[in-house]
Structure 1
Amino acid sequence: MPMLRIRLTGSDDTARAVMNLLQSVDGIEHVEEVADLMPHMDDADSSSAGLHDVSGPKMHAIEIEVGNASTERKLREAVEALAFDLDAVVEFETEEEG
């Protein structure tokens, strides 16, 4: 079953809205937000720690098991439209199992 990974840059509320949308699409087998394994250069002792300029939208990594290519296309279009409406940035990565 194809696995689609989404990297979403936006607020926690935006990520919840996208995940709710994903779960409402017919043909989606599984939706899960996974831990972001990318190290971020946030240093608690930095002189800029906690400043408004360095605190921006968070990165969310979401994995979706998609039933087929048609469902994946429909899903991409819906997520892109919602991300546009919510001023979020979304990236897609597809991985075929096999």
Structure 2
Amino acid sequence: MAHVRLRATGPRSGFEVLVIALHGLEGVQSVEEVADLMPHLDDEDSSSAGLVDDAAGAGLHALEIEVSPPFAETVRTISDEVAARQGLVLEYVDDF
């Protein structure tokens, strides 16, 4: 099994649509949201304090997908398509 790991930034509702879409794909064994253990400390004196991402509650979500190797690229393609429709920004990572 291969693992596709990604971070999604955006609304929770869009993230949930992504999870549902991935569950329905051929070759996908599991889709699991991973708790983000890194503290995201925002300095109140920072130049980014109060920006839309801070104020609007756009969330950071981590997802690990276990997939049969031939379907890993399909998972990435579908993830990108769903993300574009749902207003998510994706980052593919090797580890969390």
Tell me the TM-score normalised to structure 2 length. Answer: 0.80
Aligned length, in residue pairs: 91
CA deviations 1:22-68 (Å, max 9, x no partner) are 1000110111001012211147xx59xxx674224110000111111
Deviation at 1:93, TM superposition (A): 2.5
Unmatched runs of 5 consecutive residues or more in structure 1: none
Task: Show structure 1 runs of 4+ deviating over 4 A.
Answer: none
Aligned to 1:21: 21
Aligned-residue RMSD, C-alpha: 2.3
Structure with more of its chain in helix, by fraction: 2
CA deviations 1:58-89 (Å, max 9, x no partner) are 10000111111x31111111110111111210
Tell me the TM-score normalised to structure 1 length. Answer: 0.79
- SS at structure 2 position matched to 1:84: helix
- Distance of 1:9 and 1:83 partners within structure 2: 9
Superposition map of 1:76-95 within 5 A: 76-94=76-94
- Distance of 2:93 and 2:36 partners within structure 1: 15
**2:4–2:67: 8 Å Cα contact kept in structure 1?**
yes
Q: Which has more radius of gyration?
A: 1
Unmatched runs of 5 consecutive residues or more in structure 2: none
**1:2–1:94: 8 Å Cα contact kept in structure 2?**
no
